[in-house]
Structure 1
Amino acid sequence: MMFCRLQSRTYFPGSGCDCLNAAYALVVNFFLFSTGCDSFISGSCGLTHFLQATLLKACLQLPLLFLILYGPHEVTVRVCLCPFISLIMVSIVKAAVGGLMDVCRANNHLRGFLHNHLKIFAAGMKTYEIPPDYSNVVLPAKPKLKFLNKVPNLKKAKKEMKKLRDIQGPAKAANAFTVGQYAIVAMGGGYLHWGHFEMMRLTINRKMDARTTFARWRVNAPYKPVTRKGLGQRMGGGKGAIDHYVTPVRYGRLIVELGGKVELGEVESVLTEVAKKLPFPAKVMSREDLEALKRVHADMEQNNQNPWTFKQIVQGNMLGIRKVLSPFDLHNHGRFTGKFHLPARV
């Protein structure tokens, strides 16, 4: 097998470079030679004895022939390589350097080795978002949700009828933000029991950071009585006794409001977990999301291309539809069916 001589360097003792550093320099120089570069990288004087031995071991794994000639006053290092290996020299050198990095990483020498000998320069373009300004946010003295009573403090409890209109139609109160930035918004009607209040209070208070976040109730404590008769009773006998109290909720009402020096991504998982456990459909929204939802409904009414809307059909009393509609349907233009909301209805 014929060998071709690639490089030859002569180093004198006392010049700061020994044969190991010379071998390292020749390997790097050969890599530059195989890639078409003309520059030469000289040996470094900062290698420790451990790195010198590790480097020589990694270099000896290459299909190279190191001829180290020791003279009386000089040391000559020559590198020889077979002609056909020059085509795959880039991959071989890369594998050798990777093995050397693994050895150095195992012995905590990777940082110094990379910073001193394998400097990789990278250039890129990055765009950083400006963090929000919380200078105007004032945290209250008690940031957590307070405990709500299970039974209202009344002198004499009075029984009430069902009054399903309490959960029908859109909410007329607590349908806009006050001091917070994020909230759980009801997307349908329903009743909140005391157990739902405790679930929301415990989940939010445990998982939120009271140093940067505060929470506020937007619904009242249970106040509407629900009666129930015991099992095994005959028909009649009047209305049953009060069993528990509930809070009626309509579409668009805010249940819990959060604010402070916090972004939506930090509290969205907690609010979503709470919203899934409520007895009616609910959604986590911010101030911007709620305004965008209102703009979507207004845009649907303004840019509607279908002339036969529910409002036009009812005003024209087409097919005598007025005799089967209730005042509730006339007032809300058919956008609600009981406690359910129809978002596609214009």
Structure 2
Amino acid sequence: MLEPTQTEHRKVQRNQGLKRNTYAVKGTRLSFGDFGLKALEEGELTSRQLEAARVAINRYLKRAGKVWIRVFPDKPKTKTPAETRMGKGKGEPDHFVAPVQPGNVIFEVGGGAEEEEAREALRLGKHKLPIKTKFVVRPGFRAEER
């Protein structure tokens, strides 16, 4: 599973919500592949969810294409032990999440995969994620086929 090898701070403060930009500024265009899965709402994707989606996509594609994961879970989430009384500080880091904004590309598929194969593979991967997503195609991809 995806996890940073070394972090500057073990625990991070909670985000107070998006202040200005409700739509992602960076990571909104396809960089590597011809097809992608783009987020339509904000949320946090755990490394387990990303791995489950990646496995589902790869199982369908087999060797027909290549998959790129465009988000990385680098934000630690803490958890206090069960049956612990209130107070006594913040808990220990439990897992990592990747914050996602609307417009962020989460997965890309390319490397020889046909559009119908990529569409079905990303549909299977989409069901493993807790946010709404949509299938996107690289601009100019269909024009090159003609």
Find the partner of 1:162 among 8, 11, 14. Answer: 14
Find the partner of 2:55 among 202, 207, 222. Answer: 202
Greater strand proportion? 2
Distance 2:48 2:18 in 1: 20
Structure 2: which amino acid aligns with 1:205? N
Tell me which of the two structures has the higher relative contact order, counting C-alpha pairs closer than 8 angstroms and 6 or more residues apart: 2
Find the partner of 2:129 among 258, 270, 278. Answer: 278
TM alignment of 1:83-162, pairs within 5 A: 148-149=1-2, 151-154=3-6, 157-162=9-14
2:65 corresponds to 1:213: yes
2:97 corresponds to 1:246: yes
Find the partner of 2:74 among 223, 247, 272. Answer: 223
Shift of the alpha carbon at 1:263? 2.5
Taking structure 1 as reference, are residues 196 and 205 closer, same or farther at Cα in structure 2, changes over 3 Å only?
same
Structure 2: which amino acid aligns with 1:243? D
1:241-292 residue CA offsets vs partner (Å, 9 max, x unmatched): 2111111000000001111333311221111111122111111121249xxx
1:132-190 residue CA offsets vs partner (Å, 9 max, x unmatched): xxxxxxxxxxxxxxxx53x3212665211120436971112110011311000000011
1:205-253 residue CA offsets vs partner (Å, 9 max, x unmatched): 222142x422211112x21111121222222111122111111000000
State whether residues 276 and 282 of structure 1, in contact with CA within 8 Å, keep that contact through their aligned partners in structure 2.
no
TM-score by length of 1: 0.37
Taking structure 1 as reference, are residues 153 and 272 closer, same or farther at Cα in structure 2, changes over 3 Å only?
same
Greater helix proportion? 1
State whether residues 58 and 121 of structure 2, in contact with CA within 8 Å, keep that contact through their aligned partners in structure 1.
no
Structure 1: which amino acid aligns with 2:6? L
RMSD between superposed Cα atoms in Å: 2.3
1:309 aligned partner: none
Taking structure 1 as reference, are residues 204 and 166 closer, same or farther at Cα in structure 2, changes over 3 Å only?
farther
Larger Rg: 1
TM-score by length of 2: 0.83
Percent identity, aligned pairs only, is 30
- SS of structure 2 residue aligned to 1:175: coil
TM alignment of 1:289-304, pairs within 5 A: none
Structure 2: which amino acid aligns with 1:271? L
Distance 1:246 1:271 in 2: 20
2:31 corresponds to 1:175: no
State whether residues 224 and 245 of structure 1, in contact with CA within 8 Å, keep that contact through their aligned partners in structure 2.
yes
Find the partner of 1:256 among 77, 97, 107. Answer: 107
Distance 2:107 2:16 in 1: 23
- SS of structure 2 residue aligned to 1:165: coil
2:88 aligned partner: 237
Long gaps (5+) in structure 1: 1-147, 290-346
2:36 corresponds to 1:193: no
Could you list the runs of 4 or more consecutive aligned residues of structure 1 that deviate by over 3 angstroms after TM superposition?
Answer: 164-168
State whether residues 53 and 124 of structure 2, in contact with CA within 8 Å, keep that contact through their aligned partners in structure 1.
no
Distance 1:252 1:231 in 2: 37
- State the number of aligned residues: 139
State whether residues 166 and 250 of structure 1, in contact with CA within 8 Å, keep that contact through their aligned partners in structure 2.
no
1:93 aligned partner: none
Shift of the alpha carbon at 1:193? 0.7
